[in-house]
Amino acid sequence: MTLQSNKHMDRKELKRPDQFTTSITRFFGELAKNRKAVAVVALAVILGSAVAMLFISRKQADGQKAHDELFLANDAVDKRLEALSKAATDAAADSSTTQTKKPGAKKVPPKPEKSIDSEQFAFKKLNVDQEFADAVQKYKAVIEKFGSTRAAFEARTALGALYLHHGEPEKAVPWLKAAAESAPGPAAKAYAWSSLGYALEDSAKTAEALQAFEKAMNLGESNLKGDLLLAIARCQEVLNDKAKARATYDQIISQLPNTEFAKNARFFKNRIQ
């Protein structure tokens, strides 16, 4: 048996568009009416993307330039150390020749002197501003031109270390403090606070040094733990807080057993009266 619909559709109904077709037609109709607005939005998106790409590209270029200039500053330090080493070697050779020379003696070529390694000057007390003037200027230029970059942080750290390693801890303090405050991550911040602690300690500012070491310690950098705990205990001793110093030495012994740190902690603890 065949089922037939009771509803009869006339020609007008057969030609009438369905709901989907009507919606699509209406959408494109509205789109056509607002073509100018759509074009403006599209243009804004394109321009925004272009600006973003330009910003990223420029930032990358600045970052590369900053690292290039930092490299030149580090290279200036290395070259100056090599020059100091060569000058010391030549001076030693001249001194040896003068001392062995006797009236009437045959001229004998002096024995070649062993060259003085530039690393021997890495921690030698020097006037940094005088001996490393070019490097200091280059480090400061990186800091001034690229203040918020990783390269600028490294320049502050390197400049502070240069003063510290060559016996001018007071001059190192402001640079290392700035480095600690601008460090890009926990590890870098821990190293910067640690370096600042040593500079303050060498400047006879023990209480401030202790605070710096504790800040570095609280950042949880495991590679620094032993050195930092020894530094903290050392400062506590100088500040005559013997109870805390003993407790810190005990912490080293218990938490870092079978290490050189534990060995040193036992030695220093036993000498506390």
Confirm whether pTM is higher than 0.85.
no
Over residues 214-247, the pLDDT tens digits come to: 999 999 999 999 999 999 999 999 999 999 999 9
Task: Name the residue with higher pLDDT: 39 or 128.
Answer: 128
* Residue-averaged pLDDT of the chain: 82
Mean pLDDT of 3-12: 48
Q: What percent of the chain has pLDDT over 90?
A: 61
CA pair distance 127, 141, nearest whole angstrom: 20
Task: Name the residue with higher pLDDT: 272 or 2.
Answer: 272
Mean pLDDT of 108-122: 62
Over residues 146-165, the pLDDT tens digits come to: 988 999 999 999 999 999 99
Over residues 63-100, the pLDDT tens digits come to: 799 999 999 999 999 999 999 988 888 877 766 555 55
CA pair distance 136, 156, nearest whole angstrom: 10
CA pair distance 250, 233, nearest whole angstrom: 10
* Burial letters 39-57, b for 16+ CB under 10 A, else e: eeeeeeeeeeeeeeeeeee
